[in-house]
Amino acid sequence: MQRYFVNHRANDDRFIIKGDDRHHIVKVMRMQIDDEIICVDQERKQAICRLAEITDETVVADVVQWLEGNSELPISITIASGLPKGDKLEWIIQKGTELGAHQFLPFSAARSVVKWDDKKAAKKIERWQKIAKEAAEQSHRTMVPDMISPMSFNAMLEKSKDFQYKLAAYEEESRDGEASNFSAVLKQMQPGDSLLIVFGPEGGLADEEVKKLESTGFILCGLGPRILRTETAPLYTLAAVSYHFELLR
């Protein structure tokens, strides 16, 4: 059943769908009156709804049944990615959303080939947010991850003060066979805790960045014996977190 995140409610039992979602329902899915969809409100409540009215501006959907259950990871994970080349960040956002990330924080790393252009910022962030929304709907989540505007490495360090736990994936730790730090942090965490994990761009984190991360309270961790690409490492991490907190329990 098609799922939509809806910002407008006429009352407790009626959703008002506008904009791109209205277009998707009418023009793409070609739905009719009495067809059913799932609506998720801003409080993460979800309901099976039946289409009651279709106009040139809106689709009105009446609640048939409120749904129980929660598909979100029990801890809040923010993926901080050193700006990678091409469409790799879009891949990280799409797949990372499917795997349960709560936020994405791109930053300019020393080895980032891509340089952030403030003039194109609004369109880029809007596109990333759309990718996250569509991935959240596809994977039946109850929230759309937040897209934090790209920032400098030092600004990211300052932002890290907002998190309870902080990790940095460092390939030298993998080469040395160090895999215990990641596991140890997960074992310490409790439902509701927040985790920021930093990944370098192609070429990894620079030595000076690693020193600053350590001095700011980050724990360096390896992600197994193999060296992962910048777009693979966040997905490995999210899958491991899901296994630890969801499949083992």
φ, ψ at 240 (rounded to 5°)? -65, -40
Mean pLDDT by 10 residues, the chain (249 residues): 90 92 95 96 94 95 93 96 94 98 96 82 91 96 95 96 96 63 93 97 94 96 89 96 90
**pLDDT tens per residue across span 88-108:** 999 999 999 999 999 999 999
Where do the domains of the chain lie?
Answer: 3-67, 76-247
Residues in the chain: 249
Phi, then psi, of 15 in degrees rounded to 5: -105, 145
Helix 88-98 to helix 121-138 angle (10° resolution) is 30
Q: Which CATH number fits domain 3-67: 2.60.120.10, 2.40.260.10, 1.20.1440.120, 2.40.240.20?
A: 2.40.240.20
**What is the per-residue pLDDT for 114?**
81
pLDDT confidence of residue 188: 95
The confidence score (pLDDT) of residue 117 equals 77
Contact present, 188 and 165 (Cβ < 8 Å): yes
Domains 3-67 and 76-247 share a fold: no
Show the CA angle centred on residue 101, arms to residues 190 and 230, nearest 5°: 115
Q: How many CB atoms lie within 10 A of CB 54?
A: 18
CATH topology of domain 76-247: Alpha/beta knot (3.40.1280)
Q: What digits encode the pLDDT tens for the residues 51-71?
A: 999 999 999 999 999 999 889
Can you tell me the distance from the alpha carbon of 105 to that of 103, in angstroms, rounded to the nearest whole number? 7
Q: Give 169's strand partners.
A: 221
What 3-state class would DSSP assign to 225? Answer: coil
